Amino acid sequence: MAKILIVDDEIGIRELLSEILRDEGHDVVLAEDAAAARGVRGASCPDMVLLDIWMPDTDGITLLKEWAAAGQLTMPVVMMSGHGTIDTAVEATRIGAIDYLEKPIALQKLLSAVKRGLQRQPAIPVPTALSLAAFHDSAPLRDLHRRLRQVAGQSRLILLQTGPGHLADLVARSLQSPGTPWLDLGTLSGVYDLARLATLQGGQLYLSALEQLSRPQQKSLASIVDRLERYDLRLFVASSSNREELLAAEWDHALVERLFSHMLMGIPTLADIRDELPGLACRILRHLVDTKEVPLRRFTPATLSQLRRRDWYGGYSELYATIRNLAQTSTEEEINLPDGGLPVPDAMVSPVSFDLPLREAREAFERMYFEHHLRLERGNITRLAQKTGLERTHLYRKLRQLGLHGGRHHEES
């Protein structure tokens, strides 16, 4: 039968409901508060949840909102309360609960609610992309999410100061409203089509590497900033360069000053939150399982240890892609790494094919070359320029042409 999670701080109610549902043939899991409920949901997805509203640590409505925001509301939830109101019931339903039971709960009402719930699809689909809300167990990311919400209402343009291993793409996703448009400007080549903005009304734009824009794209970006209010858009811009570096690279002074006059946020890198990596990895894996991208998988402690020790210069996107690859290629439910440890990115091991035309072969080699030295120099553009013998402006242009993102400039050698 079904696996049902009962969340209630009163032991008598937990035991009574558990006895009734077990008699009906269901597998029942008990949680005495929101913290225990989070643990159960994080480890697996129950088929249904009976959730009390009034609990000592976190109330049920708040936990319901948390699950919805984190993309974990993939199971039917029935709220329970002995002191509820019509407004509370309406709010719970709006968030995603499918029913509301008043205590003391009559046997027939309980069984009817459970039957209806198990026959229904979840009210809210799992999002295709995670946001900071999904990582509520991480104190640094909770704090980052709180700071982000504080600045969200103050500016439509938020500039994220980044470094190697940044979390900018995860941060940018965290203010996107469900069902609204999303456009990554970094995936577009050439001048941006401003007419397309009208089709993105109320949505969000993201630029992953400001310093790599061409001159025409810089002009397009200025025009986009002018139109944010008109089309009700929010724009996140990630930059590994500061104001002085962009001006030194001969950027338009007015555009640079305009960008840096908006909300500026420094965000942590994966190296800054290394101790959080095992928890982040498990949450990403849980998401991949929930969205049916991978079969049921879990990490061994040894694998989590290696994930924690690795230097993720490619940031959150590299971590996410690596976890998905490990889960897809694992032949067992437990993910054990091969003897060689974590796989090296393909670009680091794939030889250039001699069957390619000269131009394509040269470009493939250059990409491997710069990826290799970017890793060795940990994204430091100054040292990379010195090692490769290229002037910084030309180096940025080359990296942009190859689709590579350099890290933030550091003065130390």
Digit-coded pLDDT (tens) for 87-114: 787 888 888 888 999 999 999 999 999 9
Flag whether pLDDT at 412 surpasses 50. Answer: no
- Residue 386 maps to which CATH number? 1.10.10
User: Looking at per-residue confidence, does 90 or 260 come out higher?
Assistant: 260
Number of domains the chain contains: 4
Contact 315, 270 (CB under 8 A): yes
Clarify whether residues 165 and 216 are in a common domain.
yes
Q: Is residue 409 part of a domain?
A: no
* Closest to 350 in 3D by CA, of 363, 365, 370, 329: 365
At residue 368 the predicted structure's pLDDT band, cuts being 50, 70 and 90, is confident
Q: Is residue 125 part of a domain?
A: no
**Secondary structure class of 213 (helix, strand, coil):** coil
Q: Last residue of some domain: 60, 87, 119?
A: 119
Contact 347, 368 (CB under 8 A): yes
Record the pTM.
0.62
Clarify whether residues 152 and 230 are in a common domain.
yes
Query: Mean pLDDT over residues 242-252, rounded?
Result: 89
Contact 18, 28 (CB under 8 A): yes
Contact 290, 181 (CB under 8 A): no
Clarify whether residues 392 and 357 are in a common domain.
yes
Q: Is residue 407 part of a domain?
A: no
Give the per-residue pLDDT at 167.
92
Q: Last residue of some domain: 327, 343, 359?
A: 343
Flag whether pLDDT at 172 surpasses 80. Answer: yes
Distance between alpha carbon 371 and the CA centroid of its chain, in Å?
24
Contact 199, 300 (CB under 8 A): no
Q: Last residue of some domain: 221, 246, 266?
A: 266
Clarify whether residues 215 and 260 are in a common domain.
yes
Alpha helix locations (H) across 96-228? 107-119, 139-152, 168-173, 215-227
Give the per-residue pLDDT at 413.
37
* Closest to 148 in 3D by CA, of 317, 265, 306: 265
* Closest to 7 in 3D by CA, of 61, 49, 57: 49
Clarify whether residues 278 and 169 are in a common domain.
no
Query: Mean pLDDT over residues 243-258, rounded?
Result: 91
- Residue 332 maps to which CATH number? 1.10.8.60
| Owner of token pair 């990379």 | 384
DSSP letter at 366 equals: H
The beta strands (E) that lie in 213-323 are given as 234-239, 263-266, 298-299
Give the per-residue pLDDT at 4.
96
Q: Is residue 313 part of a domain?
A: yes
Report phi then psi at 15, rounded to 5.
-65, -40
Whole-angstrom Cα distance, residue 133 to residue 141? 8
Burial (0-12, 13-18, 19+ Cβ within 10 Å), 42: middle
Contact 285, 298 (CB under 8 A): yes
From 105-119, 298-312, 343-357, the region with the lowest mean pLDDT: 343-357
Q: Is residue 215 part of a domain?
A: yes
* Structural domain boundaries, residue 64: 3-119
Residue 341 Rama label (left phi>0; alpha psi -120 to 50; beta): left
**Secondary structure class of 3 (helix, strand, coil):** strand
**Secondary structure class of 14 (helix, strand, coil):** helix
Q: What is the chain's length? A: 413
Element (H, E) at 79: strand 77-81
Burial (0-12, 13-18, 19+ Cβ within 10 Å), 94: exposed
Clarify whether residues 184 and 287 are in a common domain.
no
- Residue 82 maps to which CATH number? 3.40.50.2300
β-pairing verdict for 77-81 and 99-102: parallel
Clarify whether residues 196 and 293 are in a common domain.
no
User: Looking at per-residue confidence, does 401 or 288 come out higher?
Assistant: 288
- Residue 165 maps to which CATH number? 3.40.50.300
Q: Is residue 412 part of a domain?
A: no
Clarify whether residues 323 and 388 are in a common domain.
no
Amino acid at 271: A
* Closest to 323 in 3D by CA, of 293, 367, 348: 293
Clarify whether residues 144 and 248 are in a common domain.
yes
Number of other CB atoms surrounding residue 344 within 10 Å: 11
Q: Is residue 411 part of a domain?
A: no
At residue 186 the predicted structure's pLDDT band, cuts being 50, 70 and 90, is confident
Give the per-residue pLDDT at 334.
93
Cis peptide before 104 (omega within 30 of 0): yes
Contact 85, 34 (CB under 8 A): no
- First vs last C-alpha separation in the chain: 63
Clarify whether residues 49 and 94 are in a common domain.
yes
* Closest to 330 in 3D by CA, of 296, 301, 290, 305: 296
Contact 223, 197 (CB under 8 A): no
Clarify whether residues 332 and 377 are in a common domain.
no
At residue 411 the predicted structure's pLDDT band, cuts being 50, 70 and 90, is very low
Clarify whether residues 38 and 75 are in a common domain.
yes
